[in-house]
Chain A
């Protein structure tokens, strides 16, 4: 019986050059090197990535769901922050 669990790590994968790392999931590992190996063997079996980051879940500082109203709601009624009020001049492509 396992009485002591290995710590949890979060796994981030960069799928190709030029893109940023994205959160893929989490794994258990006893140390950092093992975490990289487990991330590789769990999340990149089907050529999902070219670079891996792992970080202990306990090291991540997360926002508190209880504070989400104060954190995120003030942005909701500030539609002027979205660049939707500009008229696109004729002849501008790729915008």
Chain B
């Protein structure tokens, strides 16, 4: 694989993580506990859509085959999506969403900080913008995990279950493949080993404050980064892509 191909694949992956999580969050937009929380999460989802647009546009430009952000979002099949499995997991209840968000953003924030320092100026610029948004999200979601974990017996038990349920999807975050290695080597990009250390330390801190147990690392699911997804992604894309598939080229 050449450097440029790795860069395109890497930007697409970042876009996929952002877009799939954005779609999940917006699915739940009327289901949060209070109006204020709905506003907050709608904004977070829009932050992610903004990031996805930038990553896709960047990948499309590098590729030079005249694909724009919408082509990436609406005209690719599930197996062409390279998001991690964690972000495509169904919403479940509020605690599940907070668990998914905490585990993903504890990874995504140091990843963005690494990209910000890399020597591809285009990618670094997108990361510099996104990093501020995610830093705020993570602050918000961490508070929720603490509030629910250190809340009532009921909320504690459910929050623990949510963390346990999502734990199996965290191994994939740090499993470096050819693309990750090329980005680290050729562009001085983020190092997944050091991100794993930061992730463990942040997650452990939040869980401890939330009086929750950190699950043991046992079997870990993987495949999302290579395009092998759970069945959930197909349903998500069907809903998201429906309009463009039925009315190709439709515009407002």
Contacts and interface: CB of A to CB of B under 8 A. Distances in A.
Interface string B207-220: 00000000000000
Contacts of B36: 27-29, 38, 41-42
Contacts of B143: 33-34, 37
A57 to B, nearest CB: 14
Contacts of A29: 36
A50 interface: no
A27 B40 CA distance: 12
Given A6-B34, A37-B140, A30 B147 contact: yes
Nearest to A30: B147
Contact of A38 (B40, B136, B139, B147): B40
A76 interface: no
Given A30-B147, A33-B143, A41 B34 contact: no
A78 interface: no
A48 interface: no
Nearest to A34: B143
A27 B37 CA distance: 10
Contacts of B62: none
B43 interface: yes
Given A34-B143, A37-B140, A37-B143, A28 B34 contact: yes
B43 A38 contact: no
9 contacts: A28-B36, A33-B143, A37-B139, A38-B36, A38-B39, A41-B36, A41-B43, A42-B36, A42-B39
